[in-house]
Amino acid sequence: MTYVITEACVGTKDTACWEACPADAIHPGPGEPSFGKHEQLYIDPTECIDCSACEPVCPVEAIYPEEDVPQESERSIAVNRDFFAARTA
């Protein structure tokens, strides 16, 4: 299982989740050059340790365990994975 940031983050991009993540699995962080180029933050499914630290601090309730992502937001699962696949390509 991994956590997923859904489209509710778009336009908000609050970094409370990034600050709470002990595994450095949320990107782009505020210090990364690409931070301003993206509309939202993403959770790396290979780095996420499933600790849930990010979920309660999200002010827009955009973060869910992958299996609990609402049906209308399921596209976010692929969006998160694709973000990291593009970074390593």
Token readout for 28 is 């782009």
- The total number of structural domains in the chain stands at 1
Range of the domain at 80: 3-88
Sign of CA dihedral 27, 37, 75, 89: negative
Confidence of residue 89 (pLDDT cuts 50, 70, 90): low
Per-residue confidence (pLDDT) for residue 81, from 0 to 100: 93
| Cα radius of gyration (the chain) | 12
Alpha-carbon distance 87 to 38, whole Å?
13
Per-residue confidence (pLDDT) for residue 47, from 0 to 100: 95
pTM, 2 dp: 0.93
Alpha-carbon distance 3 to 6, whole Å?
10
Instruction: Report the mean per-residue pLDDT for the chain.
Output: 94
pLDDT, tens digit (0-9, with 9 covering 90-100), for 31-54: 999 999 999 999 999 999 999 999
Per-residue confidence (pLDDT) for residue 31, from 0 to 100: 93
Can you give the CATH number for the domain in which 80 is found?
3.30.70.20
> DSSP alpha helices (H): ranges in 12-63?
16-20
Reduced to 3 states (helix: H, G, I; strand: E, B; else coil), residue 80 is helix
